[in-house]
């Protein structure tokens, strides 16, 4: 496949080839379509969408598998620089599922040849998100872009600007925003019933056990010259890109951004300052340039008052896994993407929650769950643990499926994006500043203007 240049930047209302063909056909019938009517006409043609997967690694394959469970989606292309391995694996699987698609190493070739794409799912390493997303939008294609939007604020800004310039839809991959359990907590428990009272404190964590560096089958190693062409120095760095400055952001960005995004969402606020302690305490600094341990405190000023929010990510011990804990003067909400974890706990001093149980917003508390086990002596200084109300929403689908569905349905004009660029950008600003705060070793204030573009 020969190389061609990426299509040149198009002004917002420029008509691309597909729209042009449709407009010409319409003109033949004597009709002149305004862009909005044209969009509507396209949506009515068929609900099926043509998509490509750009980056078919671990997460690309998770997204591909989730998409395969969604009707009306046709994979037309897969693009990945690990041609003999990830690309081949994804290509073969999609073929097996009956998709008629092409495979590419270079995204520029894909954009030059695939003229019928409605959307691209981008799951390449973070430092590639901005060039990939911007090029796709300039080619007239809607984008699902994995978090972190970019490893730099400048990259994130480029994505926001391109979305505004092209009018294309961009969903950022903070998939909890479409998770029914999270939506229920936000809309029913926090907004409607306000069961937590005034939220004063948050803590959350993602604790992971020690993990060796990611390896690769020697016979499928990518040549050094090809790695360099795509911004990597060698196979070790290519496979473990998240630990390297200039490529990823380390665990606080990789893992923390999902959960810190929930802090902002549930508080309807962005923080005013951040303090953080972190370092590469355990692993080899040569291969783990970003911090393996980060403990961070955000300070928020919300409509109800100040909130202090703690978050930690460690990579040497998996104790208690990952969750977010929202604590108010009347109760606690624990929530996690892991379906096994989650519950609501009423403070003993809070008014009873019977009316919320009667109305079905809350489940009845689990009987005796809070009672100390027989023989356990309760210290007078301890308070009895409050009874647990299980979350009433059960969600057993692949975690990313509702977020992808929301993206596809937004392209069809049936829904609004749950995590558009502006939201992803606020989270990127919030999270990327943590690494700055670790380096600075002092409290850093956010300028409210920083969150806007």
Alpha-carbon 145 to chain mean position? 8
- Within 8 A by CB and 6+ apart from 400, the residues are 62, 63, 66, 173, 175
- Tell me, residue by residue from 196 to 235, as one string, x for binding to ligand NAD by CB under 6 A and - for no binding: ----------------------------------x-----
How many chain residues touch ligand NAD (CB under 6 A)? Answer: 25
Task: State the residue number with the nearest CB to ligand NAD.
Answer: 57
**Among the residue ranges 14-22, 51-59, 274-282, 404-412, the one whose residues contact ligand NAD (CB under 6 A):** 51-59
Would you say 111 or 267 has its CB closer to ligand NAD? Answer: 111
Alpha-carbon distance of 402 to 451, in angstroms, equals 27
Would you say 55 or 365 has its CB closer to ligand NAD? Answer: 55
Instruction: List the strands of the sheet with 49-54, edge to edge.
Output: 102-104, 73-79, 49-54, 119-122, 142-145, 170-172
> Before 271, cis peptide (omega within 30)?
no
Q: Which of 142, 152, 171, 175 binds ligand NAD (CB under 6 A)?
A: 175
Taking a C-beta distance cutoff of 8 angstroms, is the pair 300, 266 a contact? no
Alpha-carbon distance of 258 to 168, in angstroms, equals 24
Tokens of 449: 């203007």
320-359 positions binding ligand NAD, by CB under 6 A: none
Would you say 128 or 300 has its CB closer to ligand NAD? Answer: 128
**Among the residue ranges 17-25, 29-37, 79-87, 328-336, the one whose residues contact ligand NAD (CB under 6 A):** 79-87
Alpha-carbon distance of 217 to 233, in angstroms, equals 18
Residue 135 CB, nearest distance to ligand NAD (Å)? 11
Residue position matching structure tokens 């991959």 = 173
195 closest CA partner among 337, 392, 368: 392
Would you say 145 or 202 has its CB closer to ligand NAD? Answer: 145
Q: Which of 79, 141, 327, 404 binds ligand NAD (CB under 6 A)?
A: 79
Q: Which helix (H) or strand (E) holds 204?
A: strand 199-207
Q: Which of 50, 52, 57, 402 binds ligand NAD (CB under 6 A)?
A: 57
Residue 433 CB, nearest distance to ligand NAD (Å)? 18
Catalogue the long-range contacts made by 97-100 (C-beta closer than 8 Å, 24 or more residues apart).
Answer: 97/68, 99/74, 99/75, 100/74, 100/76
Q: Is 147 in the site for ligand NAD (CB under 6 A)?
A: yes
Q: Which of 27, 32, 58, 209 binds ligand NAD (CB under 6 A)?
A: 58
Tokens of 106: 């270079």
Would you say 263 or 353 has its CB closer to ligand NAD? Answer: 263
* DSSP class of 31: -
**Among the residue ranges 40-48, 142-150, 367-375, 376-384, the one whose residues contact ligand NAD (CB under 6 A):** 142-150
98-137 positions binding ligand NAD, by CB under 6 A: 107, 123-126, 128
Residue 118 CB, nearest distance to ligand NAD (Å)? 20
Q: Which of 77, 80, 263, 313 binds ligand NAD (CB under 6 A)?
A: 80
Sign of CA dihedral 391, 395, 398, 399: negative
242-261 positions binding ligand NAD, by CB under 6 A: 254
252-311 positions binding ligand NAD, by CB under 6 A: 254
Q: Which of 155, 173, 278, 328 binds ligand NAD (CB under 6 A)?
A: 173
Taking a C-beta distance cutoff of 8 angstroms, is the pair 329, 347 a contact? yes
Length of the chain: 453
Would you say 90 or 276 has its CB closer to ligand NAD? Answer: 90
Tokens of 389: 């109300």
Interface with ligand NAD (CB under 6 A): 54-60, 79-82, 86, 107, 123-126, 128, 146-148, 173, 175, 230, 254
């Amino acid at each position: 496949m020969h190389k061609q240049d990426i299509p040149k930047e198009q002004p917002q209302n420029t008509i691309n080839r597909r729209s042009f063909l449709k407009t010409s056909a319409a003109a033949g019938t004597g009709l002149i379509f305004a862009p909005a009517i044209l969009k509507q006409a396209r949506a009515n043609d068929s609900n099926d969408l043509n998509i490509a997967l750009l980056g078919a690694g671990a997460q690309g394959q998770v997204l591909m598998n989730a998409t395969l469970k969604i009707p009306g989606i046709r994979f037309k292309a897969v693009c990945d620089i690990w041609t003999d391995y990830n690309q081949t694996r994804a290509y073969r699987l999609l073929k097996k599922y009956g998709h008629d698609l092409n495979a590419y190493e270079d995204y520029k070739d894909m954009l030059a040849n695939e003229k019928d794409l409605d959307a691209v799912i981008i799951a390449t390493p973070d430092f590639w998100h901005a060039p990939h997303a911007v090029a796709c939008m300039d080619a007239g294609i809607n984008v699902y872009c994995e978090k972190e939007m970019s490893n730099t604020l400048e990259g994130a800004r480029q994505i926001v600007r391109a979305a505004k310039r092209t009018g294309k839809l961009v969903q950022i991959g903070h998939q909890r925003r479409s998770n029914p359990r999270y939506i229920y907590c936000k809309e029913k428990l926090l907004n409607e019933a306000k069961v937590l009272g005034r939220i004063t404190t948050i803590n959350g964590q993602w604790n992971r056990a020690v993990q060796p560096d990611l390896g690769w089958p020697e016979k499928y190693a990518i040549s050094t010259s090809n790695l360099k062409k795509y911004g990597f120095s060698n196979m070790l760095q290519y496979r473990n890109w998240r630990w390297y400055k200039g490529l990823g952001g380390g665990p606080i960005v990789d893992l923390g951004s999902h959960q810190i995004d929930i802090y902002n969402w549930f508080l309807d606020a962005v923080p005013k300052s951040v303090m953080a302690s972190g370092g590469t305490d355990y692993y080899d600094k040569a291969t783990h340039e970003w911090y393996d341990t980060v403990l961070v405190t955000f300070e928020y000023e919300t409509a109800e008052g100040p909130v202090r929010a703690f978050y930690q990510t460690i990579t040497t011990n998996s104790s208690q896994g990952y969750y977010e804990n929202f604590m108010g003067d009347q109760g606690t909400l624990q929530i996690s993407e892991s379906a096994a974890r989650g519950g609501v706990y009423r403070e003993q001093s809070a008014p009873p929650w019977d009316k919320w149980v009667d109305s079905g917003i809350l489940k009845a508390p689990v009987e005796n769950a809070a009672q100390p086990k027989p023989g356990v002596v309760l210290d007078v200084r301890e308070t009895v643990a409050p009874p647990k109300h299980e979350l009433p929403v059960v969600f057993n689908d692949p975690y990313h499926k509702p977020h992808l569905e929301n993206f596809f349905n937004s392209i069809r004009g049936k829904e609004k994006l749950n995590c558009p660029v502006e939201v992803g950008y606020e989270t990127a600003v919030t999270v990327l500043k943590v690494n700055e705060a670790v380096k600075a070793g002092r409290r850093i204030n956010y300028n409210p203007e920083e969150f806007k573009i």
